[in-house]
Structure 1
Amino acid sequence: MGTEPLRYSMNIQWSEEDQTYIATIPELPGCKTHGTTYVEAVKQGQDAIESWIEANKAWGRPIPAPRVTMTA
């Protein structure tokens, strides 16, 4: 894969309603998944990023660049 999946932002939040961790990828519209543990949610998030990119490439859609975050 040309784009490094780990460079995309990933938000992990606990869902009381679903009793699971929800992983969302802000740069990739509709890209989200879940896991029963925090670590599982991160792994599932990485898989979701790869799948999202592969599918959108196949459909000829543009792939957004990872967001650049600067900290001081």
Structure 2
Amino acid sequence: MSDTRLRYTVLVEQNEDGGYTVTVPSLPGCVSEGATWEEALAEIEEAISGYIEVARKLGKPIPVEISVPLNTSHAGV
């Protein structure tokens, strides 16, 4: 699987303090934060890599992408 690139949808939410929280619905518990949008995305990439690395070491299956319904009631859409 080393030459396979996994892709996951991330959900980004702006915090009241102006920072961002990012979650990965396909990877339960995979959450990260950043002061800026760019930092939050960089941090979640690292969190995803760590999640997958631990799953492999434990012999657990690597989760695949799942569809998540978009709740646009708070998205300003």
Same fold (TM over 0.5): yes
Q: Distance in 1 between matches of 2:3 and 2:50?
A: 13
In our comparison, the structure showing a higher alpha carbon Rg is 2
Q: Distance in 2 between matches of 1:55 and 1:46?
A: 14
| TM score, norm. by length of structure 1 | 0.79
Q: Distance in 2 between matches of 1:67 and 1:2?
A: 21
Offset of residue 33 of structure 1: 0.4
Amino acid at match of 2:59: G
Corresponding residue for residue 49 of structure 1: 48
Aligned residue pairs total 67
Deviations 1:2-52 (A, max 9, x none): 5524x1011111111x54200100000100100000010011111111100
For 1:28, what is the secondary structure of its paired residue?
coil
Corresponding residue for residue 24 of structure 1: 23
Give the number of the structure with larger relative contact order, counting CA–CA contacts within 8 Å between residues 6 or more apart. Answer: 1
Corresponding residue for residue 11 of structure 2: 11
The verdict on how the C-alpha distance between 1:53 and 1:4 changes in structure 2, with shifts beyond 3 A counting, is same
Corresponding residue for residue 65 of structure 1: 64
CA RMSD of aligned residues (A): 2.0
Q: Distance in 2 between matches of 1:49 and 1:3?
A: 15
